[in-house]
Amino acid sequence: MPNSETLNASVDLYRQILEDFIPFHQILGLKLVDVKPNLVIVTIPFKPELIGDPIKRAIHGGVLASVMDAAGGAAGLTTMKSFNDKLSTIDLRIDFLQPGKGEDIICEASIVRSGSRVIFTRMICYNVSKPTEIIAEGRGVYSVRRHSAV
C-alpha cells in the first residue's frame, strides 16, 4: 500500500491515478511524463478529435484547460502527506498566448505556494517540437484539507 513517500513522488502511482483512475483523461489520451515534489509533467498526444479550430488545426482551448487542471491538481497532490487529505479546485485561469499547432502538447505544473489550506499552482503548455514557445499559461487555486500524517 502506498505511504506518504510514494504519495510525494512515485511515478507509478501518479500514472495510475492520472491515466487509469480518471475517465476523462482516457478520452483526452493524457499521459504522465514525470512527477517530482512540487512538479508534474503530462502530455496529450495529438489526435484529430482534440481540434477546436479545424481551419488552423488548433487544439481546443478546453483541452488545454483540462490538461492544466489535471496537472495542477496532481502537482497539488505532491504536497500532501496522507491519502486522507482532500484536494478540490477553487478556480482555474488560462491565458491563451498563441494557437497550439496540431501536435503533441506538454503541460508542466508547478507549485507557486503551498499553504495549510490553499495551494497555488502555475501551468504552462507548449508543443513538443517547440518547448520555448508557450502556447498557454494557467493558474490553478486548490483547497486542501490536510490531516496529520499517522
* Alpha-carbon span 18 to 33, nearest angstrom: 11
Q: Which DSSP state fits 117?
A: S
Residues that bind a copy of itself (CB under 8 A): 21-28, 48-54, 60-63, 65-70, 88-99, 112-113, 115, 117-118, 120, 134, 137, 139, 141, 143, 145
Q: Of 13 and 97, which has the nearer Cβ to a copy of itself? A: 97
Least Å distance between CB 134 and a copy of itself?
Answer: 8
Comparing CB distances to a copy of itself, the nearer of 130 and 145 is 145
Strand partners for 34: 41
CB of 26 to a copy of itself, least distance (A): 7
Task: Identify each DSSP E strand in the chain by its residue range.
Answer: 31-36, 39-44, 51-53, 58-59, 86-96, 105-114, 118-127, 134-145
